Chains A and B, each alone.
Chain A
Amino acid sequence: MFSAETIKMLIDGTADTLYMTFFSTVFAYLFAFPLGIALVITKKDGLKPKPVLNRILDIIVNVGRSIPFLILLIAVIPLTTFIAGKSYGTTATIVPLVIAATPFIARLIESSLEEVDKGVIEAAQSMGASIKTIIFNVLIPEAKTSLIVGGTIVIGTILSYSAMAGVVGGGGLGDIAIRYGYYRYQTDIMLITVILLVVLVQILQEIGMRIAKKTDKRVIK
């Protein structure tokens, strides 16, 4: 059906997509984790109430979340060029992906940590636990399942964002879909990229959910 060349292109595209998704997720989490924790503990009834700081962080996250990715992608081109040396290609695309995903992940982490029973936190405080101990030995481990589920959602979202980056020559499956499917009217290639994206999301989703379920000790197995 397809020439060997096309097949190779599709395989490379898939690899590029996975490459962008993986590194963007890792870097975004590096920024989002501290941000999410800060959002939780600086709340009015948090472990270290700092209402002003909390408000500022909240606004930053909201602004970040409300800029459409496509616009952000273009708006941060100067920054992308500064960091990655160029504004196109798979590695460069990681920059806007990280910027777009960080506030989104921070919100997810915040809501996961918020789910932890306040009573358990109080119990830890009654034992004389420090804030650091509560964060790392109570909040994060207790929210583990929810955090993993959140991570699964994040990977799916970043994957679809990465496809969007194809518009500005971002590489990966999205790039192929736009170049062949949209500009050259090759519907079959368009279709196959869509199928590949769907399959990728499905696989990653399934893996994530299985890990979440397997590590959750709250349900009787």
Chain B
Amino acid sequence: MNETVLCKHKLTTKRELLILLLIKAVLTIKTLIQIKDLQKDYISQNSTVTALSDINLDINSGDIFGIIGMSGAGKSTLVRCINFLEKPTKGTVIIDDKDLSLLNDQELRNVRQDIGMIFQQFNLLMQRNVEDNISFPLEIAGKSKAEGRKRAKELLEIVGLGDKSKSYPSQLSGGQKQRVAIARALSTNPKILLCDEATSALDPTTTRSILALLKEINKKFGITIIIITHEMTVVEEICDRVAIIDNGYVAEHGKVEDVFSNPKTDAAKKLVYSNKAAVAEMKGKRCIRIVFDGKSSYEPVIANMVLECRAQVNILFADTQDINGKAIGHMILQLPEDNMVAEKIINYLRDRKIVVEELKNYV
């Protein structure tokens, strides 16, 4: 919006430009969602389960905010508290200076029309075609059918499914269904998009394309995105800020790079290091000596080998140097116990014209 202001008035002085940029900066760091002392209890006949307690989070306008935690940590409950699909037992959520706990049902429904939501299972209406799915929120908002059609067409272009308007959800793949769900969530031009495990049912490639789409939407429309996930990679890939939920509490929150590079709490450590295989003691008896005799030192041979073969090696000895871009020297590696993997590693190295010689009784 500020760009259009800039264009229209053809500002002449640098000072005015500076002021406008400042205003823009202030606007963009505005807190859009405030979660205050939130607690959610589930009360059944003979017991009370506290799903969330003491949740305090500020989410800035335009951010992509990740909420990560193990399953059962309470993150799905938390996201449902943001649009009051679940009413908090204590505390409140303030969106755009509006305290949701003070609203009646009708007002709450109006607020929800301003908050898009997508789900793990897509939750499309199976008996409606793509176009009618996308225009459904507009139908709820009382807009005309023609308006809904027009908006559906625009949105289908944005999510890259321009030719699917008359298809039914059953005819689409998982990734396409999620794209339709995203288009549907955007139809009312919401300020906030809630994503509840939106990529958890998708394969890694599709996940990446959906995340790229979310990022694009965030940039293009300045929409604030809240992503609930149990996958580290999702947060790493697109989030600006992250909160780690553990056992119903916020264990840590802050900028993604800060939290992930230096996790302080046990819960955070467990999450951050969980996808890295535990460092097992090397028990393999086979050792090899590999000789670098002037191959390009730019190729990270050992690192590539580890990644390709998905196996660990232990560097027992190394004496290499880089002479004018050529790697010279030798290295002794301890191979994994599994003989198949060991053979794979040896073959991998030999394929790259590296001299490999097996050492007997080195360890």
Interface residues of B in 125-177 (CB under 8 A from A): 125-129, 136-137, 139-141, 168, 170-171
Which residue from A123, A137, A141, A216 sits with its C-beta under 8 Å from B119?
A123
- The answer, yes or no, to whether B306 is at the interface (CB within 8 Å) is no
- The answer, yes or no, to whether A68 is at the interface (CB within 8 Å) is no
Known interface pairs A141-B127, A142-B126, A220-B170. Does A125 touch B85 (Cβ–Cβ under 8 Å)? yes
Distance (whole angstroms) from the CB of B304 to the closest CB of chain A: 43
- The answer, yes or no, to whether A138 is at the interface (CB within 8 Å) is yes
Contact A128 B112 (CB under 8 A): yes
Q: Which residues from A are CB-within-8-Å of B112? A: 125-128
Q: Please, which residue of chain B has its CB at the minimum distance from the CB of A215?
A: B127
- The answer, yes or no, to whether B109 is at the interface (CB within 8 Å) is yes
Q: Which residues from B are CB-within-8-Å of A142? A: 125-127
Count of inter-chain pairs, beta carbons less than 8 A:
74
Q: Please, which residue of chain B has its CB at the minimum distance from the CB of A117?
A: B123
Which residue from A124, A128, A220 sits with its C-beta under 8 Å from B141?
A128
Contact A217 B119 (CB under 8 A): no
Contact A123 B127 (CB under 8 A): no
Residue in B119, B125, B129, B168 with the greatest tally of chain A CB atoms within 10 Å: B125
Which residue from A129, A130, A137, A217 sits with its C-beta under 8 Å from B168?
A217
Known interface pairs A120-B124, A128-B141, A142-B126. Does A217 touch B170 (Cβ–Cβ under 8 Å)? yes
- The answer, yes or no, to whether A133 is at the interface (CB within 8 Å) is yes
Contact B125 A120 (CB under 8 A): yes
- The answer, yes or no, to whether A219 is at the interface (CB within 8 Å) is yes
Distance (whole angstroms) from the CB of B184 to the closest CB of chain A: 8
Contact A219 B124 (CB under 8 A): no
- The answer, yes or no, to whether B121 is at the interface (CB within 8 Å) is yes
Complex-state Cα separation, A24 to B189, whole angstroms: 48
Interface residues of B in 85-136 (CB under 8 A from A): 85, 108-113, 115-117, 119, 121, 123-129, 136
Complex-state Cα separation, A216 to B168, whole angstroms: 10
| A-B CB contact pairs (8 Å), 8 listed | A125-B85, A126-B112, A126-B194, A128-B111, A128-B113, A128-B141, A130-B140, A216-B127
Query: What residues of chain B have their CB less than 8 Å away from a CB belonging to chain A?
Result: 83, 85, 108-113, 115-117, 119, 121, 123-129, 136-137, 139-141, 168, 170-171, 188, 194
